[in-house]
Structure 1
């Protein structure tokens, strides 16, 4: 087995699942703010489209996807970001964003060119950027994100020698786990650096549709050449279990990626594509979801201010990035909350595995995902307040 992968800690969400199972066995009521898998029902129109599309005879589908779905995505992207994408050459449907992000380095990391095999991403961050790199034989380079930089990945502060050896940069704004957002000017600045050093700019835009203030931009608004974006219906439309999204951008990169994806067995089933087509073509259900998450967010804004926990104000996503009480690490506070059935994700879960292996990771933070219903959130804060008073 790949040595580096063998040394990584278990995928953090799997660890959370084991902890939750243990709590259930002990009869403790669980308020799960750990895994980002909201409970709101999937819109009826989308469910009906999927059911109606289940065929009598099941057959293989193409990795290129249905033309109708690509057209719907193209239309949505133009309406949302003002960017025109050719549905035939610039869009590929994917099974959510995770598998597409994981597979991307397998196509574009050339193991015969070790002088250009580095992949840069921010930490704390989504674990898949690192793990996909390791499986592809590339060298992951986690870059600590600083509160003073607004948790933005600043390529302009990195050594030129590192940039010269980099093949891929992952940006993720709105950001998981902090909820930080980025401006269009930021994307323009980072793209300029990537083009200067021959780096593919990959932008994970899974959370652009969960916003509370200004609409977050897409990296493709900064430019097309050398840019690939990854979108998903998991959070926008509550389709986490459907596993459906898309990859879009530079037509040359998309062409090469499509060829590689034909080897991975990731063609999306037709009935999922039909449901996705309906989801991308409708905004009403998305607006309703945003309003629900705003209500949840406001509950916790008031609660954290009341008990005195510091947090990054969430302008987007359904996450809070919170600093543990003084004298405690995020992990210690998370373990304390577990005794009361409150499940949160310690900040260490979002450190890169290489940082952990080299003892370069410590975190005063923890993350909550606004997963429970509005009513459960109101109930949870009462339990949490008691837990917090008994530290």
Structure 2
């Protein structure tokens, strides 16, 4: 077995899945705020487009993807971010964003090079570290701080580290904290990456779940040695369809495309057709935002009533919340689990997550209201136990 596989801890979300399944077998009512997989139905027009596109004869899809899908992505990106992308040379469809993020370092990390560090903020989505390890790179996590709004501050990193860095990952709006970044921040980080000849990778799969100003894209700061990763999973409720794209610097896209056929990640044609229709429509996205807005209001009120401190939610469907005083993130999560409430301990997301927990606004609005009542009972029990 690959040495890395032996040494890796279980994928954090696996623990949540096992705990949830155990509770289900015991017949417990589950309110799952753990994994970020919302229950809202995929829009009917997307499902119909996929169904109607299923062919009688199944054949291999191309890794480059359908021209009409790339055109739809290009038009959406220009409308949304005011950045014009060449659909022929600057866009690659992907099977969601996770696989593309994982595979990217496999192409661009050279094991014999002195520049093989990969910088990313922590707490973080675990795939940045895992893709780096499998590529033979050096994971370099930087602890994000509450007082900095969980922004990755490259300007505070030693020059010697930056000189050894091949890739910097940023992820705004941020998973797990929900933190957002301004265009000025992106311009600053882009400038530092250019100074040190670093590839800037921006995971932007939460840009379309927002409640105030629409979050910017790193490509608004510039596209030289910069690539962005987008997905329909959150925007359009297509987590199970596995559809997204990679876009940016033409030379990087060309090199990445050259090797992606080795990974077997070509998206099925009928999924691409559904994705094409999804990128062409904004109405269903606005409707989804409104549903998340209602859920957000329920928990903002609840957390304030319970005296739980949380980061203001401007985008994503996550709350990043400080645990009650005198209890660890993991113990708090296990306490809630007794009541059927599943949350993610902050420690799951790496250093910087200690003392926090994350909830994903996955259950329906009705279930969120039910969960708050159950959660209040869990807090009463916790308070009695501590008194």
Question: Does residue 384 of structure 2 align to residue 390 of structure 1?
Answer: no
Structure-1 residue corresponding to 2:231: 232
Q: Of the candidates 370, 379, 384, which is equivalent to residue 379 of structure 1?
A: 370
CA deviation after TM superposition for structure 1 residue 27, in Å? 1.8
Structure-1 residue corresponding to 2:385: none
Distance 1:81 1:271 in 2: 27
Secondary structure in 2 matching 1:263 = helix
CA contact (8 A) 2:182 2:216 kept: yes
CA contact (8 A) 1:90 1:251 kept: yes
CA deviation after TM superposition for structure 1 residue 50, in Å? 0.2
Structure-2 residue corresponding to 1:149: 148
Distance 1:294 1:362 in 2: 25
Distance 2:353 2:149 in 1: 19
CA deviation after TM superposition for structure 1 residue 2, in Å? 3.8
Structure-2 residue corresponding to 1:363: 354
Distance 2:305 2:7 in 1: 41
Report matched runs for 1:235-314 at 5 Å: 235-314=234-313
Structure-1 residue corresponding to 2:57: 57
Distance 2:7 2:369 in 1: 40
CA deviation after TM superposition for structure 1 residue 118, in Å? 0.5
TM-score, length-normalised on structure 2? 0.98
Structure-1 residue corresponding to 2:347: 348
Unaligned runs of 5+ in 2: 383-387
Distance 1:84 1:389 in 2: 54
Distance 1:3 1:310 in 2: 41
CA contact (8 A) 1:233 1:276 kept: yes
Q: Deviations over 1:114-170 (max 9, x none)?
A: x11100000001000000001111110010001111100000000000000000000
Name the count of aligned residue pairs.
Answer: 382
CA contact (8 A) 1:5 1:131 kept: no
Distance 2:234 2:95 in 1: 13
Report matched runs for 1:184-199 at 5 Å: 184-199=183-198
CA contact (8 A) 2:123 2:353 kept: no
CA deviation after TM superposition for structure 1 residue 98, in Å? 0.1
Distance 1:347 1:329 in 2: 10
CA contact (8 A) 2:323 2:329 kept: yes
Distance 1:117 1:384 in 2: 46
CA contact (8 A) 2:4 2:134 kept: no
Distance 1:144 1:167 in 2: 19
Structure-2 residue corresponding to 1:328: 327
CA contact (8 A) 1:320 1:368 kept: yes
Q: Deviations over 1:278-309 (max 9, x none)?
A: 00000000000000000000000000001111
Q: Deviations over 1:241-296 (max 9, x none)?
A: 00000000000000000001011110100000000000000000000000000000
Secondary structure in 2 matching 1:104 = helix
Distance 1:247 1:162 in 2: 27
TM-score, length-normalised on structure 1? 0.97
26-35 vs 235-244, greater mean Cα deviation: 26-35
Question: Does residue 92 of structure 2 align to residue 92 of structure 1?
Answer: yes
Unaligned runs of 5+ in 1: 356-360
